[in-house]
Amino acid sequence: MSKKINRRQALQIMGAGAAGLAGAGLWNRKQIIDFFDRDATVQGSEADGKVVTRLYPSNGAQVSLLGFGGMRFPTRLTASGKVIDEEISEKMIAYAYRHGVNYYDTAYFYHDGKSEAFMGNVLKQYPRNSFYLCDKMPTPVLKSLDQAKEIFQRQLETCQVQYFDNYLLHSLSSRDIFDELYVKGGILEYLHSEKEAGRIRCLGFSFHGDVPFFNYLMDNFAWDCVMIQLNYADWNDEGEQPDGSKQGGSLYRKAVEKNVPVFVMEPVKGGNLAQLSVPASAILKEENHDASAASWALRYVGSLPAVVTMLSGMSSIEQVIDNIHTMANFHPLSEKERRILARSMGKRTAETQINCTYCRYCDPCPYGVDIAGIFHVYNTQADRLGIDDGTASAEAKKEFLIRYQNEVNRSSRAGHCSGCNECLPRCPQHIAIPQQVQQVDALVRKLADETGKVVI
Ligand code: SF4
Ligand code: SF4
């Protein structure tokens, strides 16, 4: 019989630094299901209470400050490839819903087009007026107004709803494409007509471009909301020039100036801020031993008053429990905590990490390269590998190679990159993917040589 673990024990385990309950082998599948089922029946006894809400001025709604992103559900391997693990994912959503999460986000591309249908199937169990659903027009595949109309109507059917609470122009990154498709092509006007008809309650866009393009959108068009990438690592202060992805402050301040409510993606930077280097983590642990690194990142974003909701693409039981615990007991960062976070930031290994958020927009690679998987293994090990100072131990090098071997299929490893550049324009973080992939490949070969480990 499996041993029952309650939420408090789960948080203690996480506070002790476990890499993940299931991942660390502490919970098996049955224990995960048991935890969620038990929570459903004893709600109130172990529950944290509900996630705090914020007013969404564009429609007067009280929206949970934590939203559930539909991009990174847990998956399982089948004969036809990776699919959403629907049993666990549904229980994660149910747990979130019970604990006050009322904002759910999906998109045409997520999970190879399966996220919308899955989200719709789960959410239809709840009263439509008890949750807010966001979907998006898939800009990268758009060609014409007729196609946009067809996609929008199909999205309503797939999600099994009569209307979307938020509907976004997905992933705007180029003014030329926006002007051509949405303005001259009439798609923006069409979406406004859907708003008039009540099938869109609030219209906005999600953004992956530069600051001048963002300012153009904000100065020349009316929006009910905007979704931007924002986290403490990507924030630039007033007067600090935006640089690469470090432009969150500029975008946020512009949205505030235009009175446009802000929805946030990547508050934990694709999970990178949940796994800090040992010295960076030690500084945070010294202040609060029980708080996860992710909780600091969420509280940083939640401390910004114009933020209505931050999305977390939760993919494991420990993330759901920890995030909900943080946001049910939310309090903004104090000045002292901000200083501590800044000190911890100084110890990050961002310069040795690849700026990947594991969104998988770059998939599929025609040569089968698992770009996000490769970058994830690299980023989680970069600190221990001592790329900067060559201080890595033989043990750390071997651990990197073992993880690379276990987590990236042989046919999907970096050595298969042909440098065709097909992935390049699809990356919202503007990462030089082929170069980075090839650098990881070179690193793997070098470490294999040094350690005598054969990577099979
Ligand atoms: S450049 Fe490399 S990783 Fe990118 S699509 Fe081509 S083969 Fe795949
Ligand atoms: S390389 Fe870019 S597109 Fe691919 S997963 Fe990372 S951030 Fe997303």
Residues with CB under 6 A from ligand 1: 365-367, 369, 371, 417-423, 433-434, 437
Beta-carbon count within 10 A of 375 CB:
25
Token duo for residue 236: 């630039």
173 lines ligand 2 (CB under 6 A): no
What does the DSSP assignment read for 222-252?
--SEEEEE--TTS---TTSPPBTTB-HHHHH
Nearest listed ligand to the Cα of residue 171: 2
* pLDDT tens, position by position, 238-259: 999 988 778 999 999 999 999 9
* pLDDT tens, position by position, 91-136: 999 999 999 999 999 999 999 899 999 999 999 999 999 999 999 9
Do 101 and 64 touch, CB atoms closer than 8 A? yes
Contacts of residue 149, Cβ cutoff 8 Å, sequence gap at least 6: 190
- Minimum-distance ligand 2 atom for the alpha carbon of 426: 3
Do 275 and 380 touch, CB atoms closer than 8 A? yes
Q: Ligand 2 centre from 358 Cα, in Å?
A: 5
Nearest listed ligand to the Cα of residue 359: 2
Checking 26-29 for CB contacts under 8 A at 24+ apart, the result is 27/317, 28/2, 29/88
361 lines ligand 2 (CB under 6 A): yes
Residue 64 has what pLDDT? 98
In degrees, rounded to 5, the angle at the alpha carbon of residue 15 between the alpha carbons of residues 265 and 231 is 20
Residue 14 has what pLDDT? 45
Residue bearing the CA closest to ligand 2, atom 6 = 356
DSSP strand pairing (262-265 vs 307-312)? parallel
How many Å apart are CA 85 and CA 69, to the nearest integer? Answer: 15
Residue 17 has what pLDDT? 34
Which residue numbers in the chain have pLDDT < 50? 1-3, 13-25, 45, 388
Q: Which of 292, 396, 399 is nearest to 344 (CA)?
A: 292
Q: Which of 208, 207, 115, 214 is nearest to 168 (CA)?
A: 207
Q: Ligand 1 centre from 455 Cα, in Å?
A: 21
63 lines ligand 2 (CB under 6 A): no
- Minimum-distance ligand 1 atom for the alpha carbon of 419: 1
Domain ranges of the chain: 1-47, 50-345, 350-451
295 lines ligand 2 (CB under 6 A): no
Nearest listed ligand to the Cα of residue 418: 1
How many Å apart are CA 189 and CA 145, to the nearest integer? Answer: 10
How many Å apart are CA 242 and CA 234, to the nearest integer? Answer: 9
Do 267 and 304 touch, CB atoms closer than 8 A? no
Nearest listed ligand to the Cα of residue 430: 2
What's 190's DSSP letter?
H
Full-model pTM: 0.86
Residue 3 has what pLDDT? 47
Residue bearing the CA closest to ligand 2, atom 2 = 427
> Tokens 């990178």 label which residue?
272
- Minimum-distance ligand 2 atom for the alpha carbon of 270: 7
How many Å apart are CA 316 and CA 138, to the nearest integer? Answer: 26
SS3 (DSSP) at 267: coil
Question: Which CATH number fits the domain 50-345, given the four candidates 2.60.40.770, 3.20.20.100, 1.20.120.10, 3.40.640.10?
Answer: 3.20.20.100
Beta-carbon count within 10 A of 333 CB:
17
Residue 45 has what pLDDT? 45
Residue 404 has what pLDDT? 92
203 lines ligand 2 (CB under 6 A): no
Give the CA-trace dihedral at 208, 209, 213, 219, to 10 degrees: 20
How many Å apart are CA 159 and CA 91, to the nearest integer? Answer: 18
Residue 145 has what pLDDT? 98
- Minimum-distance ligand 2 atom for the alpha carbon of 359: 8
